[in-house]
Amino acid sequence: MEHQVLTPHVYWAQRHHELYLRVELSDVQNPAISITENVLHFKAQGHGAKGDNVYEFHLEFLDLVKPEPVYKLTQRQVNITVQKKESQWWERLTKQEKRPLFLAPDFDRWLDESDAEMELRAKEEEQLNKLRLESQGSPETLTSLKKGYLFMYNLVQFLGFSWIFVNMTVRFFILGKESFYDTFHTVADMMYFCQMLAAVESINAAIGVTKTPVVPSLFQLLGRNFILFIIFGTMEEMQNKAVVFFVFYIWSTVEIFRYPFYMLSCIDMDWKVLTWLRYTVWIPLYPMGCLAEAVSVIQSIPVFNETGRFSFTLPYPVKIKVRFSFFLQIYLILLFLGLYVNFRYLYKQRRRRFGQKKKKIH
């Protein structure tokens, strides 16, 4: 006995770039679904409104579609997805204006045009964000790269300042006070390298690679480099003075504890002895370093006055000679202001790290 050919109930919805059709047939067998000449052809054995039968229908679409329909069988229905050739909103599904009796809107998936546009924009934005994340790398990868970069920077600085510290210490034990007067010629090149590289710390703070405040970092960088490049570097008369030894020795002593502490922080290690030293040695050394720098500036004032270096005369009609020593006197004030800024910042760090000891009330 031949099966009667019947039409199933079909429900449809759309988005800007595709069409969705839901065919109400259960237990479907041998579905034949194709698109030829912009017409969807469906034929399948299944259980529908008229019982177990062969059901079929044909739909000529309103506009052009791609001839590769995708379908998925479930126990209760057949879901068909058809791609539009152009991403646009259709006013209806079929070319004929009168809707076929077996066709109805799928209200489970139905959206009006404005809602569909919002959904489309949300999907596009999600894809863009995904591509952006892929191009930038995952947060874990970026964190690992940042830690590796900071570890290598701190390692290089630690090795540089350690070389300076060991070199000066050995020379002092061998030569005694005589080593004071040729310190600059012995370690200046390495000190130049380390202090130029220290500019990276201020850049890291400025762009957010590290959480260090920019102002204290910049005060220390500019202060040290002014002493190194201007006071010592430009005046040969200053390079043979004993104060150079004390300035360089105090700088390197501070850094041989600071940089390894940061290195271990990059790999999430906390060595308690090193941590205590990092947050304690600066208490005597920073004021001593500031005092040594102030002495070097004071000793350089008569040298700059005698040579006239960096001094200038204001143009006519003023014609006043401005000595560089005037700026050095201003710098002395800024030097102690910088000491206050750094001391205050480091004190807060130490208090945050170790906490305040609370007195017991009896």
Q: What is the DSSP letter of 69?
A: -
- Our answer to whether residue 20 is catalytic in this structure is no
* Distance in angstroms (rounded) separating the CA atoms of residues 292 and 290: 5
> Using CB atoms within 10 A of its CB, is residue 282 exposed (0-12), middle (13-18) or buried (19+)?
buried
175-to-171, 180, 181 alpha-carbon distances in Å: 6, 9, 11
Token representation of residue 7 = 């039409």
Between CA 182 and CA 184, with CA 172 as vertex, the angle to 5 degrees is: 25
* Distance in angstroms (rounded) separating the CA atoms of residues 226 and 229: 6
- Our answer to whether residue 286 is catalytic in this structure is yes
Tally the residues of the chain.
Answer: 362
CA dihedral 291, 295, 300, 301 (to 10 degrees): 90
In the set 293, 306, 316, 345, the catalytic residue is 293
303-to-52, 238, 241, 324 alpha-carbon distances in Å: 110, 8, 12, 10
User: Which among 303, 286, 296 has a CA at the least distance from the CA of 350?
Assistant: 286
In the chain, where do the E strands start and end?
A: 5-6, 10-14, 18-23, 26-36, 39-48, 51-60, 70-73, 78-83, 103-105, 312-313, 321-322
- For residue 23, what are the β-bridge partners? 10, 78
In the set 55, 259, 286, 331, the catalytic residue is 286
User: Which among 226, 160, 230 has a CA at the least distance from the CA of 191?
Assistant: 160
Buried b (16+ CB within 10 A) or exposed e, 337-354: ebbebbbebbeeebeeee
Residues carrying an active site annotation = 286, 293
